């Protein structure tokens, strides 16, 4: 069985997800949004997209990788 891609050309491929904008985002939409896809092939991963391009690509992270990235920013 092959691994699922960790990049989606369009975040609209993730149906019925609730995108959350970073609390550090300004009103100019210059930040990122994250979502946790529900049941399906990407369940359990963290999706990240550019808040300026909500129909654009999304990158998918394992939760531990995303948490490590956030911790490195602190």
Residue 40 lies in a domain: yes
**Is residue 2, in this structure, part of any structural domain at all?**
no
pLDDT digits (tens, 9 = 90+) for 35-66: 999 888 889 999 999 988 989 999 999 999 99
Domain count along the chain: 1
Cα distance between residue 49 and residue 33, in whole Å: 5
Evaluate whether residue 56 is within a structural domain: yes
Full residue range of the structural domain in which residue 30 is found: 7-73
21 inside domain: yes
pLDDT reading at 71 higher than 90: yes
**Residue 1 in domain:** no
Top pLDDT among 64 and 7 is at 64
């Amino acid at each position: 069985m092959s691994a699922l891609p960790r990049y989606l050309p369009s975040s609209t491929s993730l149906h019925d997800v609730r995108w959350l904008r970073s609390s550090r985002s300004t009103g100019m939409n210059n930040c990122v949004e994250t979502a946790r896809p529900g049941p399906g092939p990407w369940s359990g991963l963290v999706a990240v997209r550019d808040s300026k391009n909500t129909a654009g690509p999304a990158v998918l992270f394992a939760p531990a990788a995303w948490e490590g990235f956030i911790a490195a920013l602190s």
